[in-house]
């Protein structure tokens, strides 16, 4: 029943895109998923394409095929993969690692199609705003293109322009993803280890935020304010008079990529000072500001004169409030003390581990992991290797790592990789130690824990005040027999629907069998001499119709069993 209502919601103008998505998935070996969802027949996917997809699945691992399919489907699905790669509790490590390789470099749109968008956002001709504008893009991604330009006062800027028509395509894709998510909830309960509808909604919100460049500009301004007194970081200025939802004009920073070691050496820059500045940057933005750059790949970190770090591209950022920082510090202390039971308890307090988690199993795996690093100096511990060993534990125990935490972990891993290339002997823990100690002292002060304690005390006071009335109402319902316990389980609902469908088919089969038998007994007593009488016509046509219905029922049962 749901399949019919699901397809009834499809708008005809989306069918072409639906078929395109289904054909790409089938070609990359995911035809079985389409069959399970009932989309292969409804969208007329050729059987030869499904067979070719099976051959493809034998040549490449599933994770690689998934990445290639997402890249082929365009910007919405590329971003979907990038966001999904921050959810280690729902995807196995092999898929997470492959999604990290998603390529977002695509051929640029022709200048003739981009120019009208830029002028429409500026509200005037290009020549009235810029003294010079290079129509050849410096960079081209799935959502935007970046151009170099010159303001009338001689300031070099970069202009980030959204691709024409990308919003329309994303809106269509988001509607389709929402429909598929509802279909997965209905047809695959218990088989998908996450709420597909909830994830689709989160993804749609995140992607629509990324399409608004005013948000990225505000992030840049906040970073500039946070590091206003720092002489080792520079954040480009945003020209708000020219910046809109689909266009951003920003000061251009010219420097050397942080991983271009030959260029750094040729310029006479001190790699140790660069590593020191990078460490101070990450420690301040994480432990002090709680607002960090979550995409610090080498292309977004430029080394300017005097080893100053120039940060660009603030589309992806992370947030940590005081409670987050305190929880992470406590977890960090439990880990470096190799205290697995305390680490498990802290994970439960943080909501990362469910209270019903297998504590003994999780504690055993954490202890086994920590034992491998016992006795090693902190500077010899590789964050990359540690992350690779943590991912299977996260997936096995379904640890819900908040997206900001996961962004922080990935950020630290990227920075560690860059740091080891720039200055292999640099010890980031030596730099971060004083900051951690200051934060621990701050946690111990009443100004830190006092407000939370007062809130908790107020909550208990309210609970105790309401307890007599709540208890009285509960006992009254028990006495009147009106106490109900409601449990809702999608897997149980799905099983109930399947049982209902099976019972309906049994009833249909019994009724059809009775009609066939009754009509078969009636036919020998009819006068079959030509021309037939009205009663004879009714009996013969009725018998034929019943036989056709019986054959249809058999075919439907066979087809359903084949799909299962």
Active site residues: 295
**CB-based contact 46:22 (threshold 8 Å):** no
- Interior/surface letters 496-507, b for 16+ CB within 10 angstroms, e for the rest: eeeeeeeeeeee
Distance of alpha carbon 170 from alpha carbon 162, whole angstroms: 12
- CA 520, distance to chain mean position in Å, is 61
**DSSP per position, 338-358:** T-HHHHHHHHHHTTSS-TTS-
Judge contact between 326 and 251, C-beta under 8 A.
Answer: no
Q: Which helix (H) or strand (E) holds 213?
A: helix 213-226
Direct distance between the N- and C-terminal alpha carbons of the chain, in angstroms, rounded to an integer: 17
CA distance 218 to 206: 16
Residue owning tokens 């209905």: 186
Return the axis-axis angle of helices 75-84 and 196-210, rounded to nearest 10°: 120
**Residues 67, 101: contact at Cβ < 8 Å?**
yes
The CA distance from 282 to 288, in Å, is 10
Q: Which residues pair with 160 in a beta bridge?
A: 146, 248
Nearest to 347 by CA among 337, 336, 334: 334
SS3 content of the chain, % helix, strand, coil (to 5): 65, 5, 25
Residue 166, number of CB atoms within 10 A of its CB: 19
Please give the structure tokens belonging to residue 55. Answer: 């051959």
Nearest Cα to Cα of residue 135 among 118, 152, 120? 118
Which element (helix H / strand E) includes 391? helix 383-396
Q: Which helix (H) or strand (E) holds 140?
A: strand 139-140
Gap between the Cα atoms of 262 and 256, Å rounded: 10
């Amino acid at each position: 029943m749901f399949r019919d209502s699901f397809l009834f919601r499809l708008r005809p103008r989306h069918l072409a895109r639906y078929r395109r998505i289904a054909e790409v998935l089938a070609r990359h070996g995911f035809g079985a998923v389409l069959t399970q969802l009932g989309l292969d027949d409804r969208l007329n996917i050729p059987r030869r394409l499904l067979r070719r997809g099976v051959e493809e699945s034998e040549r490449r691992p599933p994770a690689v095929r998934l990445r290639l399919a997402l890249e082929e489907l365009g910007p919405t699905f590329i971003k979907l993969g990038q966001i999904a790669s921050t959810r280690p509790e729902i995807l196995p490590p092999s898929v997470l690692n492959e999604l990290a390789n998603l390529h977002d470099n695509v051929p640029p749109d022709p200048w003739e199609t981009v120019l009208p968008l830029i002028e429409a956002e500026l509200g005037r001709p290009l020549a009235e705003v810029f003294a010079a504008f290079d129509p050849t893009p410096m960079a081209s991604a799935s959502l935007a293109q970046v151009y170099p330009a010159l303001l009338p006062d001689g300031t070099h800027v970069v202009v980030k322009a959204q691709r024409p028509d990308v919003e329309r395509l994303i809106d269509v894709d988001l509607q389709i993803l929402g429909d598929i998510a509802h279909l997965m909830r209905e047809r695959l309960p218990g088989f998908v280890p996450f709420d597909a509808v909830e994830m689709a909604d989160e993804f749609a919100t995140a992607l629509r935020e990324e399409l608004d460049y005013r948000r990225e500009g505000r992030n840049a301004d906040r970073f500039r304010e946070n590091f206003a007194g720092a002489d080792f970081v520079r954040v480009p200025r945003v020209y708000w008079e020219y910046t809109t939802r689909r266009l951003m004009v920003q000061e251009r920073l010219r420097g050397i990529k942080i991983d271009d070691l030959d260029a750094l050496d040729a310029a006479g820059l001190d790699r140790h000072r660069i590593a020191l500045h990078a460490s101070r940057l990450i420690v301040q933005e994480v432990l002090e500001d709680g607002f960090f750059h979550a995409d610090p790949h080498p292309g977004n970190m430029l080394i300017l004169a005097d080893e100053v770090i120039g940060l660009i591209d603030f589309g992806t950022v992370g947030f940590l409030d005081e409670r987050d920082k305190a929880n992470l510090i406590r977890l960090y202390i439990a880990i470096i003390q190799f205290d697995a039971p305390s680490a498990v308890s802290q994970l439960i307090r943080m909501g990362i581990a469910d209270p019903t988690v297998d504590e003994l199993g999780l504690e055993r795996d954490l202890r086994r992991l920590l034992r491998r690093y016992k006795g090693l100096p902190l500077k010899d511990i590789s964050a990359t290797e540690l992350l690779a060993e943590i991912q299977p534990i996260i997936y096995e125990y379904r640890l819900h790592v908040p997206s900001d935490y996961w962004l922080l972990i990935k950020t630290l891993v990227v920075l560690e990789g860059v740091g080891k290339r720039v200055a292999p002997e640099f010890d980031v823990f030596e730099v971060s130690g004083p900051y951690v100690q200051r934060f621990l002292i701050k946690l111990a002060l009443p100004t830190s824990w006092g407000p939370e304690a007062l809130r908790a005390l107020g909550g208990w006071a309210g609970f105790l005040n309401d307890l007599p009335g709540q208890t009285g109402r509960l006992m009254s319902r028990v006495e009147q027999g009106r106490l109900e316990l409601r449990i809702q389980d999608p897997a149980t609902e799905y099983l109930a629907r399947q049982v209902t469908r099976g019972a309906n088919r049994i009833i249909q089969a019994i009724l059809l069998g009775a009609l066939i038998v009754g009509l078969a007994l009636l036919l020998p007593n009819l006068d079959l001499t030509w021309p037939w009488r009205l009663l004879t016509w009714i009996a013969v046509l009725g018998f034929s119709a019943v036989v056709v219905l019986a054959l249809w029922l058999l075919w439907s049962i066979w087809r359903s069993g084949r799909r299962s």
